[in-house]
């Protein structure tokens, strides 16, 4: 019975990790790849470690496995958010079919400022006032 | 089919194939961010390898290594994102 449970959990975990790897290849965009690695891989690792905990059936090992799973559950969203923020700020393009970009025009690249109102538009207007009006068509 | 055969002939090959796929993305990745993500996922898959291998060899001490690897993966991703953001200044 225990062996069947261990086999089922480890097979599910391995399949989820394989799906994460396929998603990493197939996704068109760095941001979608981040979403794949933080969700599918976390679930796969959790199931594999749970299979190990069921196999050994020892209190100290179960505690260790729970600590690893809790640590991964805590750190995967944080690292995903950090690397996504960095990739947006370093100018990685969104996929061409992406529906919305909430940070559009709100990040000034030269000064690395992030504001809640549109900063780019205000600057464009001031630039156009400084130059002659013909350059507006550029 | 015993549990050891199942781990040896099914689980570990699946994990190996997924590591190969991730290495393809690591080599090809258009930007450095893709490479950082692929490295993070390789280390995470390594934790899964260690879990499967500790079942295979019946030695639970390998799980300590898994904990250290999880720590290193998180610290590595944070450090990479910090320095990539600094580099653009």
pLDDT tens column, B7-56: 999 999 999 999 999 999 999 878 889 999 999 999 999 999 999 999 99
| pLDDT for residue B89 | 62
Report chain B residues whose CB lies below 8 A from the CB of A64.
Answer: 60, 63-64, 67
Q: Are residues A113 and A55 in the same domain?
A: no
Instruction: Choose among B19, B67, B85: nearest Cβ to A89.
Output: B85
* CB spacing of B74 vs A75 below 8 angstroms: yes
pTM, rounded to two decimals: 0.84
Q: Are residues A32 and A6 in the same domain?
A: yes
Q: Are residues A112 and A84 in the same domain?
A: no
Question: CB burial class (10 A; 0-12, 13-18, 19+) of residue A33?
Answer: buried
Domain count, chain A: 2
* CB spacing of B48 vs A11 below 8 angstroms: no
Q: Are residues A13 and A66 in the same domain?
A: yes
Residue A51 within any structural domain of the chain: yes
Q: Are residues A39 and A83 in the same domain?
A: yes
Residue A7 within any structural domain of the chain: yes
pLDDT by position in tens, chain A (length 138): 889 999 999 999 999 999 999 999 998 888 889 988 889 989 999 999 999 999 999 999 999 999 999 999 999 999 999 999 888 888 788 888 888 877 777 777 766 677 777 765 555 555 555 444 444 444
Residue A99 within any structural domain of the chain: no
Q: Are residues A63 and A112 in the same domain?
A: no
Q: Are residues A119 and A67 in the same domain?
A: no
Residue A97 within any structural domain of the chain: no
The interface predicted TM-score (ipTM) is 0.91
Residues 6+ apart with CB under 8 A from A41: A16, A17, A20, A76, B41, B44, B45
Q: Are residues A8 and A70 in the same domain?
A: yes
Q: How many CB atoms lie within 10 A of CB A7?
A: 20
Residue A43 within any structural domain of the chain: yes
Residue A102 within any structural domain of the chain: no
Residue A59 within any structural domain of the chain: yes
Residue A41 within any structural domain of the chain: yes
Stated as kind and residue range, the H or E segment containing A79 is: helix A59-89
Q: Are residues A111 and A82 in the same domain?
A: no
In angstroms, the CA A50 to CA A12 distance is 11
Helix (H, G, I), strand (E, B) or coil at A29: coil
Domain assignment of residue A68, given as a range: 2-89
Q: Are residues A111 and A50 in the same domain?
A: no
Report chain B residues whose CB lies below 8 A from the CB of A79.
Answer: 40, 73-74, 77-78, 81
| pLDDT for residue B30 | 84
B69 touches chain A (CB under 8 A): no
């Amino acid at each position: 019975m225990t062996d069947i449970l261990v086999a089922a959990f480890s097979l599910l975990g391995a399949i989820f990790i394989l799906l994460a790897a396929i998603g990493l290849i197939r996704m068109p965009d760095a941001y979608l790849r981040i979403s794949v690695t933080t969700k599918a891989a976390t679930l796969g690792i959790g199931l594999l470690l749970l299979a190990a905990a069921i196999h050994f059936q020892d209190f100290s090992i179960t505690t260790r496995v729970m600590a690893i799973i809790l640590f991964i559950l805590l750190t995967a969203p944080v690292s995903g958010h950090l690397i996504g923020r960095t990739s947006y700020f370093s100018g990685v393009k969104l996929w061409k079919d992406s529906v919305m970009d909430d940070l559009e025009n709100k990040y000034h690249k030269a000064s690395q400022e992030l504001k809640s109102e549109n900063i780019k538009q205000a600057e464009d207007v001031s630039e156009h006032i400084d130059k002659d009006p013909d350059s507006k068509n550029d | 089919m015993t549990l050891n055969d199942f781990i040896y002939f099914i689980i570990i090959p699946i994990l190996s194939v997924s590591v190969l796929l991730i290495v393809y993305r690591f080599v090809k990745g258009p930007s450095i961010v893709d490479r950082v993500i692929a490295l993070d996922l390789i280390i995470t898959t390594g934790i899964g390898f260690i879990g499967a291998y500790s079942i295979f060899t019946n030695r639970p001490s390998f799980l300590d290594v898994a904990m250290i690897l999880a720590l290193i993966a998180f610290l590595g991703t944070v450090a990479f994102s910090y320095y990539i953001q600094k580099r653009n200044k």
